Amino acid sequence: MLYRIVNAMAHPNHTVTVTWSDGVTADVGLSPVIAKGNVFAPMADAAYFVENMRVATDRLGLEWPNRVDFSADGLRFRAFPKEAEAEFGAPS
Nearest to 59 by CA among 19, 14, 1: 19
Stated pTM of the model: 0.89
Which pLDDT band holds residue 86 (cuts at 50, 70, 90)?
A: confident
**pLDDT one-digit tens code per residue, 17-56:** 999 999 999 999 999 999 999 999 999 999 999 999 999 9
Read off the pLDDT band of 16 (50, 70, 90): very high
Task: Summarize the confidence of residues 65-76 as an average pLDDT.
Answer: 96
Identify the DSSP state of 45. S
pLDDT at 75: 97
Q: List domains and CATH numbers for the chain.
A: 5-75 (3.30.2020.10)
Residue 88 is predicted with a pLDDT of: 72
- State the Cα–Cα distance between residues 19 and 72, nearest whole angstrom: 10
Between 81-88 and 72-79, two packed helices, what is the crossing angle to 10 degrees? 110
Asked if the model's pLDDT at residue 1 lies above 80, the reply is no
